[in-house]
Amino acid sequence: MTDIDAIRAQFPALARNIGDAPLIYLDNTATTQTPREVVDAITDAYYHRKANVHRGVHTLSQEATDAMEATRRAVRDFINAPSAEEIIFTRGTTEAINLVAASYCSLLSPGDEIVITVMEHHSNIVPWQLAAQRHGLRLRAVPLAADLSTLDLDALAGMIGERTRIVAFTAVSNVLGTVNPVRRIVDMAHAAGAVALVDAAQAIAHQSVDVQAWDADFVAFSAHKMYGPTGVGVLYGRRELLEKMPPYQGGGEMIAHVDIERSTWADLPFKFEAGTPDFIGLAALHTTIQWLTRTGLQAIADHEHMLLRRATDAILDMPGIQLYGDAPGKCAIISFLMGPRASAYDIGLLLDQMGIAVRTGHHCAQPLMHVLGVTGVVRASFAAYNTEAEADAFVGALARIRRMLRL
């Protein structure tokens, strides 16, 4: 990054200590910290234009509505969607995927098939399980290749058939860091007449997400993983599919007309946005996109990959540390275990005592853990505000733990 100190100054949390040690925040895959200007946008909206959107004629309501719809247009531009009407606001990636699983799958027939992969987050597994149970569908999972880092695309080609209706997969593994060939997989789905849903939660802050270049039918992501507010997410859906799908939830905002016996639905995107949205968080998402665009996704990606290479090269020189995920071009995620006597939880606690925040456990990816033959791993992940000194301190902390464990 051109001025890492200026970037870090925008994130007050990075100035705090954990015990006697300065915080080194390496839990960015779970959630990123939020820059001051995004928090200021939340505060400004609460203080000056907190009024419900779309239904009020007074000034505050109109201002709040304008801010929310400006965000919708900003998201459209950020992911290169054809229209703002194809941008559905949700509470996060999980709700976005649940929306598609509940609504689109209601159009399917018993015996139809859904294909996912073993490297999915639970939020891209469980909704399809529920839909399969509800509608008599078959759920299939693409295995890993022999390298235990990438998907077996030959197996995927063999799984997609005439009964395949949906192929749902992650753009980037939240454990392995693997960047999947999105367009290739989408093309495989389309060749069989299936639709493709891409979980972009781990991609949205680390690479350009272009839904038209991907030719994806659905794309889901969360604001809190892209330096934005919590509780806000996005579903992009191809218009012709969204038009066919029934509402996901009922209530205010998503209706055109209501009688006691029946109702008719609002036009897109409001058909899928029942109730009062988090219009405060959505206004701040616009500021988040402006921050990301100004900082530069490519500059962020280059910086993260530099940190990844620096830390990984040092760790590879340390006996007793097992790394998981070495696909070429992977995202800046390091998942590992240390020796037979130390659990991921123990390592995480020791690192926390040194001021280093990492994530431990199965990372909502238990099927992947079964394939890897472990119950959990330690995961460190880099972001725009991490520094070379922090990467070196992380490696140094691992060396200290190795000595403690006598590895």
Which residues constitute the domain of residue 397?
4-30+297-405
pLDDT at 406 over 90: no
Shared domain for 63 and 26, answered yes or no, is no
CA–CA distance, 276 with 7 (Å, rounded to integer): 34
**Residue 198, C-beta contacts closer than 8 angstroms, at least 6 positions apart:** 169, 170, 171, 182, 186, 214, 216, 218, 219, 220
Task: Render 181-218 in DSSP notation, one character per residue.
Answer: -HHHHHHHHHHTT-EEEEE-TTTTTTS---HHHHT-SE
What mean pLDDT comes out for the span 31-42? Answer: 98
| Among 244, 266, 294, residue at a domain's last position | 294
Percent of the chain with pLDDT over 90: 96
Helix or strand (DSSP H, E) at 51: none
Shared domain for 156 and 254, answered yes or no, is yes
Q: What pLDDT band is residue 308 in, cutting at 50, 70 and 90? A: very high
Shared domain for 316 and 285, answered yes or no, is no
Long-range own/partner contacts, residues 44-52 (CB < 8 A, 24 or more apart): 45/279, 45/280, 45/283, 45/284, 46/280, 50/280, 52/276, 52/279
pLDDT at 183 over 90: yes
What is the pLDDT, as a whole number, of residue 1? 64
Shared domain for 186 and 271, answered yes or no, is yes
Task: Based on DSSP, count helices (H) and strands (E) in the chain, helices before strands.
Answer: 14, 17
Q: What pLDDT band is residue 265 in, cutting at 50, 70 and 90? A: very high
Helix or strand (DSSP H, E) at 173: none
Q: 3-state class of 292 per DSSP?
A: helix
Shared domain for 130 and 244, answered yes or no, is yes
pLDDT tens profile 47-89: 999 999 998 899 999 999 999 999 999 999 999 999 999 999 9
CA–CA distance, 33 with 55 (Å, rounded to integer): 33
Shared domain for 151 and 186, answered yes or no, is yes
What is the pLDDT, as a whole number, of residue 341? 76
**Which DSSP category does 253 fall into?**
S
**Which DSSP category does 150 fall into?**
S
pLDDT at 276 over 90: yes
Shared domain for 116 and 263, answered yes or no, is yes
pLDDT at 407 over 90: no
What is the pLDDT, as a whole number, of residue 339? 84
Phi and psi angles of residue 358, each rounded to the nearest 5 degrees, phi first: -130, 175
What mean pLDDT comes out for the span 150-163? Answer: 97
What mean pLDDT comes out for the span 188-216? Answer: 98
Cα distances (angstroms) measured from residue 57 to each of 45, 69, 309: 18, 16, 55
What is the pLDDT, as a whole number, of residue 201? 98
| Among 259, 294, 329, residue at a domain's last position | 294
Sign of CA dihedral 212, 165, 223, 324: negative
Q: What pLDDT band is residue 230 in, cutting at 50, 70 and 90? A: very high
Shared domain for 384 and 370, answered yes or no, is yes
What is the pLDDT, as a whole number, of residue 325? 98
| Among 278, 294, 310, residue at a domain's last position | 294
What's 15's domain CATH number? 3.90.1150.10
Shared domain for 395 and 341, answered yes or no, is yes
CA atoms within 13 A on the CB side of 316: 9
What's 245's domain CATH number? 3.40.640.10
Dihedral angle of Cα 260, 264, 270, 274, to the nearest 10 degrees: 20
Cα distances (angstroms) measured from residue 369 to each of 148, 155, 158, 374, 378: 11, 20, 24, 5, 12
**283, amino acid identity:** A
Q: What pLDDT band is residue 342 in, cutting at 50, 70 and 90? A: confident
Catalytic annotation, residues: 364
pLDDT tens profile 233-251: 999 999 999 999 999 999 9
What mean pLDDT comes out for the span 259-280? Answer: 95
What mean pLDDT comes out for the span 315-337? Answer: 96
Shared domain for 210 and 157, answered yes or no, is yes
Q: What pLDDT band is residue 405 in, cutting at 50, 70 and 90? A: confident
CA–CA distance, 313 with 318 (Å, rounded to integer): 9
Helix or strand (DSSP H, E) at 26: none
Quote the tokens at residue 123: 């939020």
Regarding pTM above 0.95, the answer is yes
What integer best gives the mean pLDDT of the chain? 97
pLDDT tens profile 95-132: 999 999 999 999 999 999 999 999 999 999 999 999 99
Total domains in the fold of the chain: 2
Shared domain for 234 and 361, answered yes or no, is no
Shared domain for 378 and 328, answered yes or no, is yes
What is the pLDDT, as a whole number, of residue 109? 98
Q: What pLDDT band is residue 174 in, cutting at 50, 70 and 90? A: very high
Calculate Rg over the CA atoms of the chain.
Answer: 22
pLDDT at 268 over 90: yes
Quote the tokens at residue 372: 């890897």
Cα distances (angstroms) measured from residue 267 to each of 81, 86, 156: 18, 11, 36
